[in-house]
Amino acid sequence: MARLNACRKARAVSQQFPDAVVIGVDTLVSAGSTIFGKPRTMAQAGRMLAFLQGRTHQVTTGVCLIHWRGRRQKTFSEQTDVTFRALTRDQIRRYHRKVNPLDKAGAYGIQEKGEHLVQSISGSFSNVVGLPLEKLRAELGAFLAACATGTVCRRGRRKNGRKNAGMD
Protein backbone atom coordinates (compact mmCIF):
# COMPACT_ATOMS: atom_id res chain seq x y z
CA MET A 1 0.00 0.00 0.00
CA ALA A 2 2.81 2.47 0.86
CA ARG A 3 4.61 1.74 -2.44
CA LEU A 4 1.41 2.24 -4.42
CA ASN A 5 0.65 5.54 -2.70
CA ALA A 6 4.25 6.70 -3.23
CA CYS A 7 3.99 5.96 -6.96
CA ARG A 8 0.68 7.80 -7.25
CA LYS A 9 2.28 10.87 -5.70
CA ALA A 10 5.44 10.65 -7.83
CA ARG A 11 3.55 10.13 -11.09
CA ALA A 12 1.31 13.14 -10.50
CA VAL A 13 4.36 15.39 -10.03
CA SER A 14 6.57 13.77 -12.68
CA GLN A 15 4.05 14.51 -15.44
CA GLN A 16 4.39 18.21 -14.60
CA PHE A 17 8.23 17.97 -14.55
CA PRO A 18 9.03 15.26 -17.14
CA ASP A 19 12.80 15.93 -17.24
CA ALA A 20 13.28 15.70 -13.47
CA VAL A 21 13.82 12.69 -11.26
CA VAL A 22 10.87 12.80 -8.85
CA ILE A 23 10.73 11.06 -5.47
CA GLY A 24 7.33 10.05 -4.08
CA VAL A 25 7.07 8.81 -0.50
CA ASP A 26 4.30 7.40 1.70
CA THR A 27 4.52 6.04 5.23
CA LEU A 28 2.12 3.69 7.02
CA VAL A 29 2.06 2.35 10.56
CA SER A 30 0.73 -1.16 11.14
CA ALA A 31 0.21 -3.54 14.02
CA GLY A 32 -0.80 -7.01 12.92
CA SER A 33 -3.51 -6.59 10.29
CA THR A 34 -4.44 -3.07 11.44
CA ILE A 35 -3.10 -0.21 9.32
CA PHE A 36 -2.88 3.32 10.72
CA GLY A 37 -2.67 6.27 8.38
CA LYS A 38 -3.03 9.87 9.49
CA PRO A 39 -5.82 10.37 12.01
CA ARG A 40 -8.68 12.68 11.03
CA THR A 41 -9.57 13.80 14.54
CA MET A 42 -7.88 14.15 17.92
CA ALA A 43 -10.17 11.43 19.29
CA GLN A 44 -9.02 9.06 16.55
CA ALA A 45 -5.39 10.01 17.28
CA GLY A 46 -5.90 9.15 20.94
CA ARG A 47 -7.39 5.77 20.03
CA MET A 48 -4.42 5.03 17.77
CA LEU A 49 -1.85 5.66 20.48
CA ALA A 50 -3.96 3.78 23.03
CA PHE A 51 -3.86 0.77 20.69
CA LEU A 52 -0.11 1.08 20.00
CA GLN A 53 0.99 1.66 23.61
CA GLY A 54 2.95 -1.20 25.14
CA ARG A 55 3.27 -2.97 21.76
CA THR A 56 5.65 -3.38 18.87
CA HIS A 57 4.40 -2.10 15.53
CA GLN A 58 5.88 -1.63 12.08
CA VAL A 59 6.56 1.59 10.20
CA THR A 60 6.71 0.99 6.45
CA THR A 61 7.77 3.68 4.00
CA GLY A 62 7.27 3.20 0.29
CA VAL A 63 9.46 5.19 -2.09
CA CYS A 64 9.02 5.65 -5.83
CA LEU A 65 11.66 7.20 -8.11
CA ILE A 66 10.42 8.31 -11.53
CA HIS A 67 12.00 9.95 -14.55
CA TRP A 68 8.95 10.49 -16.76
CA ARG A 69 10.60 11.39 -20.06
CA GLY A 70 13.17 8.63 -19.63
CA ARG A 71 10.33 6.18 -18.94
CA ARG A 72 12.10 4.88 -15.85
CA GLN A 73 10.64 3.95 -12.47
CA LYS A 74 12.02 2.24 -9.36
CA THR A 75 10.05 1.42 -6.22
CA PHE A 76 11.24 0.09 -2.88
CA SER A 77 10.21 0.10 0.75
CA GLU A 78 11.78 -0.02 4.18
CA GLN A 79 10.26 -1.45 7.36
CA THR A 80 11.25 -0.65 10.94
CA ASP A 81 9.93 -2.20 14.16
CA VAL A 82 9.01 0.32 16.86
CA THR A 83 8.15 -0.66 20.43
CA PHE A 84 6.13 1.79 22.51
CA ARG A 85 6.27 2.17 26.26
CA ALA A 86 3.13 1.43 28.27
CA LEU A 87 1.22 4.73 28.26
CA THR A 88 -1.68 6.05 30.28
CA ARG A 89 -4.50 8.08 28.72
CA ASP A 90 -3.13 11.14 30.48
CA GLN A 91 0.34 10.61 28.95
CA ILE A 92 -1.26 10.28 25.51
CA ARG A 93 -3.25 13.50 26.00
CA ARG A 94 -0.14 15.38 27.17
CA TYR A 95 1.80 14.16 24.14
CA HIS A 96 -0.94 15.31 21.80
CA ARG A 97 -1.00 18.72 23.45
CA LYS A 98 2.69 19.12 22.59
CA VAL A 99 2.67 17.48 19.13
CA ASN A 100 0.04 17.77 16.39
CA PRO A 101 -0.81 14.14 15.51
CA LEU A 102 -3.15 14.88 12.59
CA ASP A 103 -0.39 15.05 9.96
CA LYS A 104 1.43 11.89 11.08
CA ALA A 105 0.80 8.24 10.27
CA GLY A 106 0.03 6.45 13.53
CA ALA A 107 -0.63 9.79 15.29
CA TYR A 108 2.97 10.35 16.40
CA GLY A 109 6.30 11.66 15.21
CA ILE A 110 9.40 9.98 16.61
CA GLN A 111 11.32 13.19 15.85
CA GLU A 112 8.88 15.25 17.95
CA LYS A 113 9.16 14.20 21.58
CA GLY A 114 9.13 10.56 20.54
CA GLU A 115 11.24 9.71 23.57
CA HIS A 116 8.03 10.01 25.63
CA LEU A 117 6.44 7.19 23.61
CA VAL A 118 9.15 4.96 22.18
CA GLN A 119 10.94 2.29 24.17
CA SER A 120 13.04 0.97 21.29
CA ILE A 121 13.39 0.69 17.52
CA SER A 122 14.87 -2.03 15.36
CA GLY A 123 15.89 -0.71 11.97
CA SER A 124 16.17 2.69 10.36
CA PHE A 125 15.40 5.72 12.52
CA SER A 126 15.08 7.93 9.42
CA ASN A 127 12.46 5.51 8.08
CA VAL A 128 10.32 6.13 11.17
CA VAL A 129 10.71 9.87 10.58
CA GLY A 130 9.31 9.26 7.08
CA LEU A 131 12.22 8.89 4.64
CA PRO A 132 14.62 5.93 4.77
CA LEU A 133 17.76 7.92 4.00
CA GLU A 134 20.22 5.03 3.99
CA LYS A 135 18.26 2.98 1.47
CA LEU A 136 17.27 6.06 -0.57
CA ARG A 137 20.94 7.06 -0.91
CA ALA A 138 21.82 3.67 -2.40
CA GLU A 139 18.76 3.35 -4.64
CA LEU A 140 18.91 6.93 -5.90
CA GLY A 141 22.62 6.60 -6.58
CA ALA A 142 22.03 3.54 -8.76
CA PHE A 143 19.06 5.21 -10.49
CA LEU A 144 21.07 8.34 -11.32
CA ALA A 145 24.12 6.33 -12.37
CA ALA A 146 21.96 4.45 -14.89
CA CYS A 147 20.73 7.79 -16.23
CA ALA A 148 24.27 9.14 -16.49
CA THR A 149 25.53 6.15 -18.48
CA GLY A 150 22.75 6.61 -21.02
CA THR A 151 21.29 3.16 -20.52
CA VAL A 152 18.04 4.67 -19.23
CA CYS A 153 16.45 8.08 -18.80
CA ARG A 154 16.99 9.12 -22.43
CA ARG A 155 14.48 9.39 -25.22
CA GLY A 156 14.69 7.21 -28.29
CA ARG A 157 17.30 4.53 -28.63
CA ARG A 158 20.21 3.45 -26.50
CA LYS A 159 23.74 3.49 -27.85
CA ASN A 160 23.37 -0.21 -28.64
CA GLY A 161 20.41 0.55 -30.95
CA ARG A 162 17.72 -0.96 -28.72
CA LYS A 163 14.71 1.04 -27.63
CA ASN A 164 14.58 2.18 -24.01
CA ALA A 165 12.48 -0.11 -21.87
CA GLY A 166 9.21 1.15 -20.40
CA MET A 167 8.76 1.90 -16.74
CA ASP A 168 9.39 -1.25 -14.70
Tell me how far CA of residue 122 lies from CA of 44, 49, 92, 115, 130, in angstroms: 26, 19, 23, 15, 15
Residue 125 falls in which region: left (phi positive, over 0), alpha (psi -120 to 50) or beta: alpha
19, 26, 90, 168: which one is catalytic?
26
**Cα–Cα distance measured from residue 114 to residue 165, given in angstroms and rounded to the nearest whole number:** 44
**Cα–Cα distance measured from residue 115 to residue 117, given in angstroms and rounded to the nearest whole number:** 5
Q: Which residues contact 120 (CB under 8 A, 6 or more apart)?
A: 82, 83
| Displacement of CA 140 from its chain's centroid (Å) | 15
**Cα–Cα distance measured from residue 120 to residue 47, given in angstroms and rounded to the nearest whole number:** 21
103 catalytic? Reply is no
Q: What is the CA radius of gyration of the chain?
A: 19
Q: Are 83 and 55 in contact (CB under 8 A)?
A: yes
Instruction: Give the residue numbers annotated as catalytic, written as ranges.
Output: 26
